[in-house]
Amino acid sequence: MRQIVLDTETTGLSPQNGDRIIEIGCVELVGRKLTGNNLHFYLNPERDSHEDALRVHGISNAFLKDKPKFAAVAQELLAYLKDAELIIHNAPFDMGFLNKELELMGRAPLKGWVGKVTDTLMMAKEAFPGKRNSLDALCDRLEVDNSGRTLHGALLDAELLADVYINLTRGQNSLVMDEGAQTQQGESLPVIDLRGFTLPVLQADAQALSEHEKTLDSIDKSSKGKTVWRIVETVFEKQPETSI
């Protein structure tokens, strides 16, 4: 499934009170890698941003006056998002604004267009209970470089969140472009049948086993003792010994 990391900037905090979207940033992942097929819009919200919101995103009302309205880009956005998994930090906020914009057009909610929605804020709260889990805090904790983020911006934040998501799900350390199985001259690389190779099995040494146990202990602590392996260990330890 395609994954789209999505972020929005808005005129304020409440779509129900008339606040609107002013920026949408989307970053595409396929096979957990950046494809470069991103989507980005600045939008005319037909109203001014609240002062507090303006301090956050720094996008002036004058800059947005000649930008398209949401209705003008809605079809392109929906086609881009169709059947994908959306990855959003604090998903109810962004989904609430997007659904309100669709409602104003007489369109169905976004949930009917996409495959699923994953909230990285909820993931972070489970992984790091009791800690700050803002995007900046997660970038610091997961060693994602956010030095270029002085103000909020939808596309930049989506790019940072993509890297945060990969780290949260214990995938590759950084995101790279998938160049495909071709040479620089455009020639296809030969397909190698790996069934003809015998791969050696390397046993873990004492240090590797110790590091493995530390990682399991860390995960168990984060989940408040709910990891399956610890529960199974406890069950087996409590079972009485039997003789045959």
Terminus-to-terminus CA distance in the chain, angstroms?
51
Look at residues 105, 39, 114, 106 and name the one whose alpha carbon lies nearest to residue 72.
105
- Active-site option among 40, 50, 152, 212: 152
Three-state DSSP string of 195-219: HHCCCCCCCCCHHHHHHHHHHHHHH
The helix/strand/coil state of 236 is: helix
| 152 belongs to the catalytic site | yes
Residue with tokens 């919200």: 45
Query: What residues contact residue 164 under an 8 Å CB cut-off, 6+ apart?
Result: 89, 120, 135, 138, 139, 142, 144
Cβ–Cβ under 8 Å, residues 173 and 167: yes
Could you give the residue numbers annotated as active site?
152
